[in-house]
Structure 1
Amino acid sequence: MHIKSTEPTPPLTADNNVISWINNYQYLGVWIDSQMKCTTHIAALKERATTRLNAMRCITGAEGGANFNVLRTFYTQAIRSIFDYATPLLIMTTPAQSEALEKAQNEALRIILGAPRWTKTCNLRAEAHLPPVRRRMQALHITILHINFNKGRNMHLLRSIQQCLKQDPALFTKRTWARCAAAGITDTSLQEFFNNHVQDLPHPDYHSKPPWAPPSYTATISSLTKKKSSLSAEELAAQARNALASVPEEGSAVYFTDGSVDPESGRAAAAFVTSEETAFF
């Protein structure tokens, strides 16, 4: 599977056997598609839910049918549980995609309560004490994140989510997993907790200098004349020698960066730390 690729896929072989490319694959019960849009998994959930809703109808009857407690338990254990299983993936679904799961729950509520189709779904959820599917997915997802972060797991994910919480959603519109998780945290008003979950405290020996103190360093940034990919090794070495020759005085330090950039923003940064100063660019 080639994830989010618009280029033609080259043929693959192993031991002279052709390996076919696929657009969908079921991994640990979750359908993953090449565009990472959850469409295949939502369709599979709808099919499984429809089969079990039919089973609910079979055990429902005016005389001798299952009562409210049995039907509600059947729904939570046999139908809602399959929605809960892939919560970390389903957090990326759009409202239109999650609406299909909401309709399945609404159908189950009508079966449980024996309500007509014109009954408002908010009244059905209140009577059955069941939250909307999307709200439950957000709550479960935040609970999973909280458990993992409290145990010190996947801290790089926490930092990504914290960064997204500080970004303006009107400017950063690309749908990524971290942004979808941040949106769910914002919807449940828990952003303050996740922003303060890990504090970046200064070193115990750090003391900020007074504002009238002169700067302890002077920085000069030299850029390459062309893109790094278009320069030969000899040209790169020559530019490095020129950078060293331009150092104005003894006691100066020269740092070379590899040119890595943030793939989303296209920006780069650098920093140096000494016994007296820390600087960021």
Structure 2
Amino acid sequence: MLFNRSLPAPARPSNITTLDGSDLEYVDNYKYLGVWLDCKLSFQTHIKHLQSKVKYRIGFLFRNKASFTHAAKHTLVKLTILPILDFGDVIYKIVSNTLLNKLDAVYHSAIRFVTKAPYSAHQCALYDGIRFILVTKHTGSMSSTRPC
């Protein structure tokens, strides 16, 4: 994979041959240590996979919310949702705000699951009702830290 942040796609090399004579395959996306890399380093594929994984788990939690106490909901989100968002959090510093807003949306859904807040609740009201360690404590850059 060749990394290039310029607008036109980088030209693909004709062939790259290893020392043992085999040709390397060119790929547009590659998963390395759990983080999806793309040729423009936009991390769009990584955020899309994170969002999908978190939405799937939140959907399960919402479908079974009647079975959980408030403390259990808090623990479930802390143990199943937050580690997904925390892993690879160093990329949040270089990701566009558009992609960070997608993560904010699923993060707010997790908080709404615990607090029973309506969908229209302002993010500041969501944070007042919960005591999670925010992803921003690690990176200092997630867009959910906008002042109220």
TM range (shorter): 0.7 to 0.9
Which of these two proteins has the greater Rg computed from alpha carbons? Answer: 1
Counterpart pick for 1:10 among 9, 14, 22: 14
TM-superposed CA distance for 1:26, in Å, is 0.8
- SS of the residue 1:109 aligns to: helix
What one-letter code is carried by the residue in structure 2 that aligns with 1:51? Y
Q: For 1:131 and 1:102, how far apart are their aligned partners in 2?
A: 14
- SS of the residue 2:30 aligns to: strand
The unaligned stretches of length 5 or more in structure 1 are 143-183, 189-281
1:122-171 C-alpha deviation (Å, 9 max, x unpaired): 111111134664xx2xx3137xxxxxxxxxxxxxxxxxxxxxxxxxxxxx
1:22-79 C-alpha deviation (Å, 9 max, x unpaired): 1111111111111111111101100110111022113301xxx211221122112211
Q: For 1:37 and 1:127, how far apart are their aligned partners in 2?
A: 33
The unaligned stretches of length 5 or more in structure 2 are none
CA RMSD, aligned part only?
Answer: 2.3
1:105 — aligned with what?
A: 107
- SS of the residue 1:31 aligns to: strand
Q: For 1:26 and 1:58, how far apart are their aligned partners in 2?
A: 31
1:33 — aligned with what?
A: 38
1:126 — aligned with what?
A: 128
Q: For 2:60 and 2:86, how far apart are their aligned partners in 1?
A: 20
TM-score in terms of structure 1 length: 0.44
Counterpart pick for 1:116 among 112, 115, 118: 118
2:55 — aligned with what?
A: 50
TM-superposed CA distance for 1:16, in Å, is 5.7
Q: For 1:101 and 1:69, how far apart are their aligned partners in 2?
A: 24
Q: How does 1:135-174 map to 2 (within 5 A)?
A: 136=136, 139-141=137-139
Using CA pairs under 8 Å that are at least 6 residues apart, name the structure with larger relative contact order, 1 or 2: 2
Number of aligned residue pairs: give it: 137
Using a 3 Å threshold, how does the CA distance of structure 1 residues 109 and 141 change in structure 2: closer, same or farther?
Answer: closer
What one-letter code is carried by the residue in structure 2 that aligns with 1:37? S
TM-superposed CA distance for 1:90, in Å, is 2.2
TM-superposed CA distance for 1:116, in Å, is 2.0
TM-score in terms of structure 2 length: 0.80
Counterpart pick for 1:74 among 64, 67, 76: 76
TM-superposed CA distance for 1:17, in Å, is 4.4
- SS of the residue 2:114 aligns to: helix
Structure 1 range deviating more: 35-44 or 8-17: 8-17
